[in-house]
Amino acid sequence: MTTSTLIPEIGRSTLPFIDGFHPERPLQVNLYRPAAHGPDDPVVIVQHGMLRNGDEYRDFWIPAAEKHRILIAAPTFGNEHFPQAESYNNGLVIGSDGTIAARERWLYGVPARVFEALRQGGVTRLAKARIFGHSAGGQFVHRLLATRDDVPFEAAFAANSGWYTLPTLERRFPEGLDGLGFGEAELARWLAWPMVILAGDQDIVTDDPNLPSQTEALAQGPMRYARAHYMLDAAKAEAARRGLPCNWSLITVPGVGHDGAAMSRAAAAYWFEGRIPSSEELKPHETAVA
């Protein structure tokens, strides 16, 4: 369900987007459409970090978009309508009174509906896109994969997440999946999905004021890089305990800290060139962006 159609012009554009399940919470979608992009060329949905800066995250992908004819769509979940982690990272799953919202109102369905709006606009014929999220966007992406069984994505990167929802039915969301009405089938589906955790090996700061510091997050490690490894280890252990396959992987990005621009370049090179660039190539051009 969507009430918007997206037809981006060539180059940069920013279009309003009204999601049918959240009409009271308008979004903007920041787009980049190369002149050479055709309806059968790739589409990447990009999820911004805590600064709600979809325009900057779109721009991080422009060099790759031009090189590989990629249509970029970066929804911006602004602070006015999506305040704090509960309304973005945690997907509006838990209401202010602590109750679980109706599943169709969880925010994790929005990227699929943005992609469908691009399909309805005729700019893509693809059945599936790719999705990348960094920092708070990395939290959003892995929770999207955890909670939806109808994702129109062929590949997903959750990069430099501050902390993780663990693949367990025994801990309350957002630490785990308890309380969401899920069971063995949903857990098995998530573990089988080829999710990639992208981790900068210099994302090791322990006193970042934006690093989640609640007890559940600290239990996963003192820094984002450690927490990425904790997440993969937890998934492998849970899958082994249940006799299930685990198709997750972790890719380390050398020499990169909490830098959305560098991690975007790494993700683009991996997807479209089959490589992770060297640390020299990935050095930040300007100040790192969360």
Secondary element (H or E) of residue 30: strand 27-33
Q: Could you report the per-residue pLDDT of 2-18, keeping only the tens digit for each?
A: 457 999 999 999 999 99
Give pLDDT, residue 285: 58
Model confidence band, residue 115 (pLDDT cutoffs 50, 70, 90): very high
Structural domains in the chain, CATH included, are 11-273 (3.40.50.1820)
Give pLDDT, residue 290: 63
Q: Which of the pair, 51 or 1, is modelled with greater confidence?
A: 51
Letter string b/e over residues 99-121, b meaning 16 or more CB atoms within 10 A of that residue's CB: eeeeeeebbbbbbbbbbbbbbee
Lookup: tokens for 144: 């999207």
Q: Could you report the per-residue pLDDT of 53-112, keeping only the tens digit for each?
A: 999 999 999 999 999 999 999 999 999 999 999 999 999 999 889 999 999 999 999 999
- pLDDT score of 221 more than 60: yes
Write the CA distances from 130 to 56, 82, 156, 273, integer angstroms: 18, 23, 6, 15
Lowest mean pLDDT among 3-7, 24-28, 157-161, 277-281: 3-7
Give pLDDT, residue 209: 94
Nearest Cα neighbor of 32 from 6, 51, 9, 48 is 9
> Residue 207 is which amino acid?
D
Give pLDDT, residue 3: 55
Cβ of 80: how many Cβ atoms within 10 Å?
9
Q: Could you report the per-residue pLDDT of 135-183, keeping only the tens digit for each?
A: 999 999 999 999 999 899 999 999 999 999 999 999 999 999 999 999 9
Average pLDDT, integer, range 117-124: 97
Give pLDDT, residue 53: 97
Which residues is 153 bridged to in the sheet? Answer: 129
Q: What length is written for the chain?
A: 290
Supply angle C-alpha 247, 251, 252, rounded to 5: 155
